[in-house]
Each structure stands twice: as C-alpha cells, then as structure tokens.
Chain A
C-alpha cells in the first residue's frame, strides 16, 4: 500500500449523472479523480451505482450528464473499442471458440500488430500469470482460477494504462480468491497500471486497494485508503458497511474541543468524537469497533470512558472470543477479545464494566 500518490488525475469523473429510465438517477453527481498508477476499488451494496460507473468508464453506458476524462481528454463520445481500456469481466468472458493463445492474441490482432510481435507478447502475458503452458487449451478445459488468470492476462496483453475489473473474483472459492487478490494487486503495482476494481466484498476492497470509494445510493459516501476508511468512517453508512460495528443512538448534549458529550437513549452519557454532527440537540449514532472495547478494567488506557454492561452470550471462535453484551438499551453490543492466555472467558449473566478511548468512539449522523 506504499504507492506514491501522484497529483495528475488520470481518470476523472466530473459531475457525472446517469439515469436509465429518465425518472430516477442511478448515479447522482459523481466526482472522482484517480491518479495514475492507483488501485482504486469501488465498493458498495448492489444497486449502489458502482458497476454503472465502471460501465460508463468502459464506454458501454453513456453518462446522462457530466464529463468523464481519461488522461485529460473527454471520452464521452469515444466508442469503447477506441478507449484502450483493459477489462476483466465477472464471468471472465473468455471466447469459448478460441484457444487461450488466440484469446490473448485477439486484442493484438485487432490492433494490427505483426505475428512475431504478437506471439512474443502473448507468451509474456501468459507467463506473467503463470499460465505459459496453457496456450493451446480452450477456456472450457481450464478451472475457474485458471480462467481468471487468462482473463487478467488478456486484459493486460495490449498494455493498457487503465484496467477495469468487474467483480472478477466473485465466482471463485474463498481460498483461491484470497490467493488471486494478492496476485492481482501484485501484478497491478508491478506493472504500474491504473486499476479500477468493483466489488461488493469489503475484505477484498480493504486488502487490495490503495483507495476505496464506498458507494451508496448513487453517491460516493467516502473515498479513502483502507485504514482510514475502517478507522475513521465519515458517516454511519460507511461505519456500518465496512467491518463490524457497535452503534448506539443518542442525542448530542454538548460539543467542546472536538469532544462531544452524547446522552445515549438508555440514559448513559459518554464522550465521543464528533465527525459529521455539529448541533447540540441533534440525533446521533455513536459507533465503536468491537476490538476497540476493553473488558478488563486493569488494561484500560488512561482517559478511557467506562460503562456498565451485562454479558448475554459468549462465542468461542478460535483466534478470538466474541462476546455479546447489553449496553444501555442495545443488546447486540459485540466485543472481540484476543484468545490470549490471560484472557478471561466471560459467563452469560455476568455484570461487567467495559471501556474505550473517547477518540475511538465516533459520533456520526443518525
């Protein structure tokens, strides 16, 4: 993730809107700029507009309004085949009637590249994805993971500067998916190409990307590097969509020196860091990550805020313990603790005191 962020925007969306039926907007006022060489992931639930954005960028959908620029020039009126963008499809879309080598050769042929050159490039691309021996096979003779690699090689063989990937790992099993995640990011960074990756899998987004754009309701809710996205969500949608989260509704009592005093609906008053709340008396949703909650009094950091809780359920998950608590009127408050030798296993019904640092507790919109 140590990619240098250059300033020149390679891909730009400016005030882009898209409507299919003329009544509702699927993409609402999208502004996005992707610097050269970045691995950007578009993450969001289905129907959030992320795939539409990708298709507009690839040229298969036209923007209803706004401007899409690639390398500084508007590509609104450029047909897909002239955009020079590599694309990996969800089902790979390898041409079943061609061999692997022919599949890879196809983009070179339509670019009128000489035969010798073509063969060299195909060979190099196949070796790049460790599929050098499979050139003569047909797609149907390959496993899902192998087809995935070939699709990747095909999207890269004509050396595009931008590669789009539309949920390319969706059809693979978990182990293979994790392996391929690593390989794809590795390849993208080594080649220095700009990648726009669409997924609804947040783990995939967090592990692969330089930056993640979280989509919801046709808008980008937050665009940030994975760590910032996870630790500093800017609104309650992002907080709840990325990772697991404990949320409690409350009302702002007071804001002072970037510390908000929140009165939870259950009556307790806690400190929180105000993010997108400003007015006293406004409803808020405070959010705290399960692993940032401390259940052992002795380990509480100085300045930590404590609150009473009742243990409802204890789940042993191997590497961690997952404990469900009742805090205030929220009886779905999750705490994750590491399975360390000195970690106590709590019993249901036990009354305990838990605590967290005020800066880990974020007051977001309700």
Chain B
C-alpha cells in the first residue's frame, strides 16, 4: 500500500518524478547536447553499450546452453511432425510417375510406375534404405514393411533371362573394365557432368550423407545420349561403389539393374537409330547385342513385382505411397487426432481405433483433477504456514519440501507399496474388517492410483507459490474485515481469498502444466486406464520408433498448454500470477 502511495504515476502535483517528467517535456523541442557537442542520446547509448555487452556476456553461456539443448530439439521435433521426405527421396521417380495415377480408374498403376519402382528400389536396396521407407509407410498401412523387405531381396531376379542372354552373347558384358570403358567413352571426350551431379545429389538425398569427392569416373556425353537409362544406372552404381564401398569403379562389375537398363535402351527405337552413328568404345558389342535384345519378349516389370509379392497389386499400398509422396504431410497430425489420410481427404478412423483423442481427454481431465486436489490439500497447509511464526513455519516448510529431496521413483514406488491389493492400506482395511479379504480394493494401476500419486508428488509446487503469496497478505486485512462486521467466513471469502488467488493461479499453472506432460508416475502406477498421452509419446519415441507421430502428439500437447495459458491470461490475467 505504501508503494502505491509513492507511485508517481498516480500522484498529481509536484513530486520529484513529475518534475523530471515536466522538465523532460520542456526540453524535448530542442535536441539536448552533451558537453562535447554530440547528441545526448548518442552519448548515453554509448555509455550504456558497455553495460549491455557485459550483461549479454554474462548470460551468454546459459543462452547458448538453452538454445542448443532446449530450443533446438523443440524446433527439430516440431519439424519432424510434418517432415515426410523419405518417400520422395527413396522413390523419386516412382512418386513422380505416380502423380498421374488415379486409383478409381485403375486399381494398380501402369507399367511406367513399376519400371521406375524397379530402378528406385534397386538403388535403395543397394543403399539399404528401402527397409526404412518400408517401416515409415508401415505406420500408415500395415504390411508394407515386409513387402519392401522381401522385394528388396528378390530384385536381382527380375529380367534374369535378359542378362543371361546378354552374357551368353559375349562374355565381355561380365567384364568390369569393359563396362567402365563403354561408359567413360573415349579419352578426352565430352563428359555428361550434369548427369553425374544429378545422381550425386539423388544419392545424397537417399542416404543422407554427402557424395561429393572424386569417384574416378564420369559418364561420356555420347553414351549418355545413346543409352540414357544404362548411363544413369551406371553412374549411380559408380558413385555408390566409389564412395560407399570405397572400391575402384573400373574393377567392379555393374549391378543387374545396369544391365537391365542397357537391354531396355537397346529396345528403344531412338537408341536403335542413334546406334548406327555411334563409334565410341564398345560400339561393336552394342551393335551385336541390339538385335538379340530387340527380339526378346518385353520385360513386364509389373508382372515381375507381382511375382515377387502379390501385395504389389494391392490398391491400398499404392494409395498409401501416393498420399505420402509429398515432402511435407499432415498425416502425423491427423493420426494424432485419430484421423487418417485417404484419397478422399482426411477421415476419422473407426470408433474402435480412436485412442489419441481419448488419451488427450483423459490427460486433460486427470490433470485438472490433480490440480484441483492439489488446491484443496495445499491451500489449508499454505494458510497455516503463512500464519505461523517464522520459526515454526520454516520447520514445517522442510516437511513440505521433503518430497523434493526424495527420488521421484522412490516416491512413486512407495505409493505402489501403499496402494496395491496386497499393500499397506488394503492390509489395514482387511485387518480392521472394513474390507473383506476377497474384495480388496483396487487402488493402483488405474486412474485413482495415478491421481493419488501425482497429487502427492506435485503438491509442493502448489503449496510454495500459495505460501509465498499468502505471506504477503497482512493480517490487518482480516482484522479490518471483522471490525467492519464480517464473520470469519465472510472475511476469509471476500477479503482473504481474492488476494490469495494469484498464488492459486501460479500453483495451478505449475501443477497443471507439469502434470499434463508427466510420464514416469503414470507409467509406473497408471496401468492401462491411468496412462497419459505422454506415455504414448514415449512409446512412439522408444518402441514403435514413429517419431513423426510422437512429434505431432508432442506438438499438440504444447499447443494445448499454450492455448490454456493464453486463456488463463485472458480470463485471470497473467499479471495476477505471483510466485512470491
């Protein structure tokens, strides 16, 4: 109160502050100069800069620490909740080819998609990235993981007869050096640097590490024009061999996919006509191979994949791949609110499969109950502490703080001992005859157990702010109210309680926000009905490894907290929150 009396903003007339303010206003029209003639403002800023720098230096270690260990991971998690580049980086050409596919017209995509899938998968399988994509897509459609896994193993078998035919024709097609010479072209010839760079970039996107550096190979421009598929495949092979395997390209026989690509090129009318003008290395071998390849039956990639696994004919799998082709997806968020992406747009899952909405509601409800019970239990304690003599209050405060000094796990486990069916409380009740031995109360591994244990654990966070606020309420207010005719209850309710609300607010925010994200206690005592959404997040982080979904759930939780905080600010006003 005495502070308010001296507050210059509220007092009119001659106070020192008002005088300063008046002087300030009077001086404003003309620029005030310092003794050396520079504007006073600039001199002042210069004088203050040193102080500011010093202050910044002092907080710099903490600032960096927080940025690195707190802000950055949060930003990363937020990003992960929408990030979905794995599909388009692993199967770039397939997803591009899938763009035109319409599931309602054609249950299975056409041959071009399967051809693209073959080359994409072959490269991904060599880089061992296809199983990751399988795992990713399996979150959306069960079974894709095993489909990718088995297909990756059997890709080598596709088009075996062509490769055999090629190698029967001339053994040089098994010769690594011949392939290297064919693809490199004549010495000093023009190189297709663009293709090399494009393939490097594609490989980098696929496996997530850099592919720069010398690989001892560059595709010839002529061969790249003549045999586009084979050159592209060989370039990828060369990059992979040189960088990932650390081998010499010229000494390694190319992948089956390269030979398949060559056979496809040799059936292409454009290549056939261009081949007549070609005079680079391997021209004779190519001309010899061309009619053989042209006479072979066309290679049906679609049938080949269906032979490997008939699930490739499943429309759902293809729709999943198509829906998750974009680099960013709302799929994780939709999953987090029990929806799924379908070709017809987002739709709710079946009633039986909805769990996150239920968990979120349960988390909010239980957090509210815990906050409420903390207020009910904490308020009288804080009141007594605030009204006792200092010495006694400090002693009792130790009892309040005692839980802080005990391990969280120990406290939670203690509740397990207390509440379980063969536990202390049940034993006492049975011994007293209040409960029959056959009908022992179930107080743990359910909501009740979680609420009891968490209320106990979070109680200090409620008592401390309430206590520090109550301490600042002078007892004279209650006396004044009573002298004005208020009963004890009225004096408390109309005068004391409203002034203690900031403490309740601060405590409630603390307890609510802590409990909404609590993990360990619900995990231990929650059973199935008492777990929180955080337990599900932890499950996705550590067991199912669906980090995207975990990130989306975490983001929603963060948003809920922020919205509640904002609502609290609107309704109660955050200025009304006091920690002391």
Contacts and interface: CB of A to CB of B under 8 A. Distances in A.
Interface string B483-520: 11111101100110011000000000000000000000
Contacts of A86: 483-484
B194 interface: no
A215 interface: no
B19 interface: no
Q: Interface extent on B, as a size class?
A: 20 to 34
Given A140-B4, A142-B4, A89 B487 contact: no
A324 B474 CA distance: 46
A147 interface: yes
- Quick one: which of A85, A91, A106, A147 has the most chain B CB within 10 A? A106
A111 B485 contact: yes
Contacts of B494: 106
A143 B3 CA distance: 10
A20 interface: no
A110 interface: yes
B479 A93 contact: yes
A116 to B, nearest CB: 19
B477 A93 contact: yes
Contacts of B35: none
A20 to B, nearest CB: 13
A92 to B, nearest CB: 6
Contacts of B7: 140
A56 interface: no
A81 interface: yes
Interface in B1-35: 1-5, 7, 10-11
Contacts of A141: 4, 10
A110 B485 contact: yes
Contact of A110 (B1, B479, B486, B499): B486
Given A89-B476, A94-B1, A106 B481 contact: yes
- Quick one: which of A80, A84, A90, A164 has the most chain B CB within 10 A? A80
Nearest to B5: A144
Contact of A139 (B4, B474, B488): B4
A110 B498 contact: no
Nearest to B473: A96
Nearest to B478: A93
Contacts of A60: 479, 482
Interface in A276-315: none
A154 B491 CA distance: 15
A87 B474 CA distance: 16
A83 B409 CA distance: 55
B485 A158 contact: yes
Interface residues of A, number: 37
Nearest to A97: B498
Contact of B480 (A59, A82, A87, A111): A87
A110 B484 contact: yes
A266 to B, nearest CB: 49
Contact of A89 (B4, B11, B479): B479
A290 B178 CA distance: 130
Given A60-B479, A93-B474, A96-B499, A147 B1 contact: yes
A111 B487 CA distance: 10
A233 interface: no
A171 interface: yes
Interface string A337-355: 0000000000000000000
- Quick one: which of B474, B477, B491, B498 has the most chain A CB within 10 A? B477
A137 to B, nearest CB: 9
A230 interface: no
Interface string B127-163: 0000000000000000000000000000000000000
Given A96-B499, A110-B490, A141-B10, A154 B476 contact: no
A95 interface: yes
Contact of A154 (B3, B477, B484): B484
A93 B485 contact: no
A80 B1 contact: no
Interface string B456-480: 0000000000000000001011011
Contacts of B488: 81
B486 A81 contact: yes
B16 to A, nearest CB: 14
- Quick one: which of B481, B482, B490, B499 has the most chain A CB within 10 A? B482
Contacts of A142: 4-5, 10
Contacts of A92: 1
Contacts of B477: 93, 95
B578 to A, nearest CB: 13
- Quick one: which of A82, A107, A154 has the most chain B CB within 10 A? A107
Given A87-B483, A110-B490, A140-B4, A93 B476 contact: yes
A63 interface: no
B8 to A, nearest CB: 10
A357 interface: no
Contacts of B5: 142-144, 147, 171
Nearest to B502: A97
Contact of B486 (A85, A106, A143, A171): A106
A58 interface: yes
B483 A80 contact: yes
Interface in B57-78: none
Given A91-B2, A142-B10, A107 B485 contact: yes
Contact of B482 (A80, A96, A111, A147): A80
Contacts of B3: 140
Contacts of B479: 58, 60, 80, 87, 89, 93
A81 B4 contact: no
Interface in A138-154: 139-144, 147, 154
Given A81-B487, A106-B481, A106-B494, A91 B476 contact: yes
A93 B391 CA distance: 26
A85 B483 contact: yes
A12 B2 CA distance: 35
B474 A81 contact: no
Interface string A140-182: 1111100100000011001000001000000100000000000
Contacts of A59: 482-483
A83 B488 CA distance: 14
Contacts of B483: 58-59, 80-81, 83, 85-87, 155, 164
B1 A158 contact: no
Nearest to B2: A171
14 contacts: A59-B483, A80-B482, A81-B485, A81-B486, A87-B483, A93-B477, A93-B480, A95-B477, A97-B498, A106-B495, A143-B10, A147-B5, A158-B484, A171-B2
Closest 6 A/B residue pairs (Cβ): A140-B4, A93-B480, A144-B5, A107-B484, A87-B483, A93-B476
Given A92-B1, A139-B1, A143-B5, 13 more contacts: A59-B482, A81-B483, A81-B488, A93-B474, A93-B477, A96-B1, A96-B499, A97-B499, A106-B486, A140-B4, A143-B11, A147-B4, A147-B5
Interface of B: 1-5, 7, 10-11, 474, 476-477, 479-488, 490-491, 494-495, 498-499
